[in-house]
Amino acid sequence: MGVYREILDAQREPTVLLDSFGMVVSCNRALLDLLRCHNDQVIGEPLLAWFPRTDETAAFGRAFLGLRARAAGHGFNLTVHLAPAIGGQLPCQLQGRKLSSGHILVSGTPIEDRPPIEADVGGAIKRSLEALDQGMLLLDASGCIVHANPAACTLLGANLRGRSFLELISSSQVDAFAESLGLVSAGTWHDEVDLCTLDGEIVPVELSLAAGRGEGAPAVVLFRDLLDRRQRQFEDRVVALVYRQLLSSPRPRENVPAACSALVDALALEQICVVTRVGVQWERWSVGREHAVHVRSLDDFAPPTGWDSGPRLVRVTRDDPEVARVFGALRPRRAALRMVLEAPSGVVAHALITGAPPAIEAPATSVLLMRLGPQLGLSLANGLLLAETEALADYQSMLLDQTTVMLISLDGAGRIVSWNRASEQLLGVMAADAEGREFGVDVARSTDLSRWQELWKTLVARGAIASELVVCNREGRKLPLHLEGRLLRDHDEAVKGAVLVGLDLRHRRALEDQVLKSQKLAAVGLLAAGIAHEINNPLSGVVGYSKLLLEKPLDADIRVKVQKIADSGERCRKIVEGVLLFSRQQESSERRLLDLRGVIDRVVAIGEYQWRMHNVQIIRELDPGPLQINGDADQLEQVMLNLLSNAVDAMPRGGTVRISLTRRPNQGQLQLDVADEGHGIPEEIRVRIFDPFFSTKEIGKGTGLGLAISYGIIKDHGGDILVRSQPGAGTTFSIVLPSADAPSDPPSPAPSV
């Protein structure tokens, strides 16, 4: 505040620094002199506490709230009246400016309305004394009243001339006053005393006595009714307290009941009820002496239409049916006032103020309520507007969070303004960490920065883009996106930002790979079915005749050659059988209910000797309970045999193969895992292992059809095969199949990794 302190001290006109709630943070000496107050009486109080006129209070409130929402450098100008602690109202020209810190700097210039100099100075003095709003008495040397101005006659009585001033002093204070009067001689005396009116009523006043010089000199008595002053001070304190409560929170369900609670305490009321419309629902807020806020929703309700156009403050009776319908029945021996709360936009609420007479029926109570009504209405209207805006923003945010695609808004510089939940989940970056940072550079970093910069330039130039972009998530992993963007412009066609919609392409790419693989398998199947039948007949002749020759006595070298022919023919026959099996594996076969544990046991038993010869140990980990599917046992045994054979071939020095069978919770699926400790599958060939005739084995040791056939069988059973492998750390094949008790439409299997 050091810089602001220097600015304030440099101002010659009265200047004050306000915070965002309208409270005085600091002020200069000129303002204190204008208000005739001490520094501690001003700091921390609302500036509106010195505004005596309701219409000017509302005007300043609107200007202040409007300036608070604008950028630094904006301002306002208003002509208002200020009420100093001593003296009458002062017209001032106020200038407000918003600072970069968010504070409001307000300076005021008093408007001087000086009449022309009177030619008759005595007449001017007399008229001035007559126009005083405080009582003035002129006393002769004996203390008798020789002149009384109209204000004095109004307060004490009309026939004051010729009476001793001591007659007007309360009997309990006559001796003290006479002693003080004797000590004054030539000078002034100031104190608070009780005066008696001519009707005998006691009136407390603030009295000043100025005695002339010399013996027998007249004296002047000035006095002001303390009842009015105390009432005004009381009202100012209540107004300041209510304003402070209204500024304590922007939410109407908090600040308006708090302000009503302050009024209940200050005026000794019983209860204040406010009926207002929040969104589409009418609500009644009740605040009593216990300070508890009771909120009740009113169904099928609307206040009488005549209330909006009627008087702003009216007295109501207990037998008024409309008041009872809106606010409830009044308690016996209670009086009530109904007040209309309105803002510049119109009527926003109706309030019922109840209490015990005669306090609530006093004119001062009505005056104070009328003074506070516009500010209550304005604060309520602003709060309801803020609540509706926040509710709309929350609703829009909820809608955006329900979509499964990335939905991002950017400002004109490409910085992120909003970031929906799908963006958080896909990229692993929370909205709070993303907002304010540049898309494609700081967040969702593009793998090709020049590519994103080119897309942004195209978006600004053409207003729309639709392209693919690869970005990195929080861990640095690549994420392919189909990105569509639309440019946002204001009514002047200036670029305000853009909206981006991003679709994760990983699932689509996986589906495309599956379709491509299915098409490839279908094409190979058709080819295999066509050529296998043509080769099978002559091949059977080669194999058959070679075996017949081997049954006859032959020379050793000829037998070796014939044996090679037989082995080669047998090898070709197995290849043809595999091709035929591959071409037929998509044909539907009769399915029956079977237990996968039995399939596993039979396959392990079939190759038990082979596993032992290769120093391989088979470990089975099967879940208890029924693990049944609807399938073809022979085909599933072939799949298991292929996977186990591959696992054994991957461990030339032996090892352990783990077979686990589990039920996927809440998915209606069974998962069969075959894990080895072999050399693993390199990442570059992992995507091709299910292709027909692709093999990493030596020539003569594999046809490249085992995994392709297994893949087709599992797909035909409504399942999928997944593979996880790390070079040097082994490979795990996972078969996912729908269980027998799964729904008729099982969940879609996950794509292969």
Per-position DSSP letters for 665-695, written without gaps between them: TTTTEEEEEEE--S----HHHHTTTTSTT--
Residues near 61 by Cβ (< 8 Å), separated by ≥ 6? 48, 375, 378, 379
Other C-beta atoms within 10 Å of 726: how many? 12
Q: Are 161 and 148 in contact (CB under 8 A)?
A: yes
Task: Provide the mean pLDDT of the chain.
Answer: 82
Using the predicted structure, report yes or no on whether residue 351 has a pLDDT greater than 90: yes
pLDDT band at residue 750, thresholds of 50, 70 and 90?
Answer: very low
Name the band, by pLDDT with cuts 50, 70 and 90, for residue 679: confident
Residue 155 CA to residue 168 CA, distance in Å, equals 12
Fold of 2-110: Beta-Lactamase (3.30.450)
- Three-state DSSP at 341 gives strand
Among 521, 514, 646, 645, which Cα is nearest to 581's?
521
Q: CATH assignment of 592-738?
A: 3.30.565.10
> How do residues 533-570 score in pLDDT, each as one tens digit?
677 778 778 878 888 888 888 888 888 888 878 877 77
- Distance between start and end Cα atoms, the chain: 63
Residue that wins the pLDDT comparison between 741 and 44? 44
Question: Domain spans of the chain?
Answer: 2-110, 126-230, 248-388, 402-503, 509-584, 592-738
pLDDT value at residue 119: 43
- Alpha-helical runs (H) found in 551-594: 556-584
| Angular region, 185: left φ>0, alpha ψ -120 to 50, beta rest | left
C-alpha distances (whole Å) from 729 to each of 456, 675, 676, 686, 698 are 44, 10, 9, 15, 22
What are the C-alpha distances in Å from 372 to residues 21, 235, 314, 492? 17, 10, 15, 42
Domain 509-584 has CATH 1.10.287.130: yes
β 495-504/406-411 pair status: antiparallel
pLDDT of residue 339: 93
Q: Tens digits of per-residue pLDDT, 439-486?
A: 999 999 899 999 999 999 999 889 899 999 999 988 888 889 999 999
Identity of the amino acid at 482: H
Stated as kind and residue range, the H or E segment containing 293 is strand 293-298
- Taking the C-alpha atoms of residue 664 and residue 753, their distance in angstroms, rounded to an integer, is 18
Q: Judge contact between 521 and 693, C-beta under 8 A.
A: no
Q: Which spans in 585-682 are helix H?
A: 596-606, 608-613, 633-649
The pLDDT tens digits of the residues spanning 11-65 come to: 888 999 988 878 888 888 888 888 888 888 888 888 888 888 888 888 888 888 8
Q: Which of 312-321, 387-396, 586-595, 663-672 has the lowest mean pLDDT?
A: 586-595
Please tell me the predicted confidence (pLDDT) of residue 588. 47
User: pLDDT tens digits for 596-632?
Assistant: 888 888 888 877 777 888 888 888 888 887 788 888 8
Strands (E), 86-178: 90-98, 104-110, 135-139, 145-148
Q: Tell me the three state secondary structure of residue 727.
A: coil
Confidence of residue 276 (pLDDT cuts 50, 70, 90): very high
- The arrangement of secondary structure in 126-230, i.e. its CATH architecture, is 2-Layer Sandwich (3.30)
Is 248-388's fold the same as 509-584's? no
What does each C-alpha distance from 100 to 68, 70, 141, 276, 753 come to in angstroms? Answer: 11, 11, 64, 36, 56
Give me the CATH code for the 248-388 domain, please: 3.30.450.40
- The fold for domain 402-503 equals Beta-Lactamase (3.30.450)
Tell me if 479 sits within 8 A of 457, measured CB to CB: no
718/169 Cα distance (integer angstroms): 110
Band (125; pLDDT cuts 50, 70, 90) = low
In this predicted structure, the answer to whether residue 260 has a pLDDT above a threshold of 80 is yes
Residues 241 and 247: their CA atoms lie apart, in Å, by 10
pLDDT at 582 over 70: no
Q: Which of 683, 643, 664, 632 is nearest to 739 (CA)?
A: 664
- Residue identified by tokens 């309305």 is 113
**pLDDT-derived band of residue 118, with 50, 70 and 90 as boundaries?**
very low
CB within 8 A of 422, min separation 6: which ones?
401, 403, 404, 405, 406, 407
Per-residue confidence band for 350, with pLDDT thresholds at 50, 70 and 90: very high
pLDDT-based confidence at 340, cuts 50/70/90?
Answer: very high
Residue, of 264 and 591, whose pLDDT is higher: 264
- How far, CA to CA in Å, does 62 sit from each of 249, 253, 495, 625, 678? 17, 20, 31, 75, 78
**Do 594 and 629 meet the contact criterion of CB atoms below 8 Å apart?**
yes
